Structure 1
Amino acid sequence: MEITMFSETGAAWVAAAVAVGAFVLTILQTRIAKAAVDHAKEVHLDQMQPYVFADIRSAEHTKGLAMLVVCNEGPTVATYVHIKFSRPLVIERGPDDPPLGEWKIKSLPPGAQFVRPLGAMVTFLGSNGDSPVQVTVDAHGLYSNEKLETLTYELDLPQLKKTSAAGKTISHAAEALESMAKTLKAANPGQK
């Protein structure tokens, strides 16, 4: 006597259940794959956006001069850049300079920085450095042609009063020239 575990009808039900399970898993895998692709597209788009910020710092070659620096460290052009301060900054460059409440820049290429002099650092901080100033940065990305996320942060001007910005001196230039001379002499041993 032969014993079978399933009848033909039972086998058909098992096959149908396996097919339905496979179908459900395929739908889940498709949804997971679509979500992964959508996420990858979003990450790619985010990586292609400009990254614009503003800072107040000493001029690179003239340490006593306060500068407003607006930079784009992203890989694409930023357009319609709008820098706004929570209170206007007093600029002491000339008698007719109005306070600076905002700065609009039509476009800012990748890696570029726009620099605006604000006057002598001591005078600028004397007029503006009693409290932090909030900066709001708005811009559009050229790649996606849409408004980027607004950046809002504080520049701690009272803390800037307590810092010292050391610049390069003539001794740095002399050291660089000596290093260049040694390199050239090593590259051309027969030359004096």
Structure 2
Amino acid sequence: MDRLSLAFASAALLVSIVTTVVGYKQLSLSRRVRREQLEPYVIVDISPRAPESQMLCLSVENLGPTVARNVRLQIEPPLRSTLDSQREEILRRVVGRTIPSMPPGRKIIYNMDLGHKYFAADPPLPLVYRATVNADGPFGAVETMTYDMDLDVWPETAIHSETVVGQLKEIAKKLRKG
């Protein structure tokens, strides 16, 4: 009878240990999920400024529920532009600086290029940029995000074609030249 009692006690102890370990893992996972829900979520994108706009813009946005601090970006290869000679330098400075804080919902937009000029550039400009975002949240460093921004999705859209306003400006310019 003593062996049977010892076996039951051992089994009960084993079940208790397994239950404790599983409970601890569930609690740890629950804490992690809760922490991630409270973290800032900063994304970088290259897209048209507005629907049917010709302006391609670099945007940085905090989609999370808390303030993002010390937001740092890396984009490879360096952003390119067909606009004035200073545009690429401006974009390099933008990407190279630390953004001290971004409240939830904050979106910062920088003009990058005109779609029809960017996609017609000779030699061609990069169509894929790799973005890396680092930031701090209420619990310290947020997990680093790295992803590709593929501009090859835009050429078949309206951004690739000249706008009516742009076409009218070109016609007016030709008429003035006579």
TM-score (norm 1): 0.68
What is the RMSD of the two structures over their aligned residues, measured on CA atoms? 2.5
Kept after mapping to 1: 8 A contact 2:118/2:125: no
Match of 2:102 among 108, 117, 134: 108
The alpha-carbon deviation at position 82 of structure 1 amounts to: 2.2
Aligned to 2:66: 76
Tell me the amino acid that sits aligned with residue 159 of structure 1: V
Q: How far apart, CA to CA, are the structure 2 residues paired with 1:73 and 1:142?
A: 13
The one of the two structures with greater contact order (alpha-carbon pairs below 8 A, sep at least 6) is 2
Which has the greater radius of gyration? 1
Q: Answer yes or no: is the 8 Å Cα contact 1:49–1:75 preserved in 2.
A: yes
- Contact (CA 8 Å) 2:41, 2:63: kept in 1 or not? yes
User: Is residue 50–residue 73 contact of structure 1 (8 Å, CA) maintained in 2?
Assistant: yes
CA distance change for structure 1 residues 156 and 12 in 2, over 3 Å: closer, same or farther? closer
Match of 2:38 in 1: 48
The match for 2:127 among 116, 129, 132 is 132
Is 1:150 the counterpart of 2:145? The answer is: yes
SS at match of 1:42: helix
| Alpha-carbon distance in 2 for matches of 1:13, 1:90 | 78
User: What TM-score results when the alignment is normalised by the length of structure 2?
Assistant: 0.73
- Identical residues among aligned pairs (%): 21
Structure 1 residue 121, shift from structure 2 partner: 2.7
The one-letter amino acid of 2:64's match is G
Structure 1 position 68, deviation (Å):
0.9
- Where structure 1 has 5 or more consecutive residues not aligned to the other structure, the ranges are 1-10, 166-192
Deviations 1:55-89 (A, max 9, x none): 11111277122211111111112222222221222
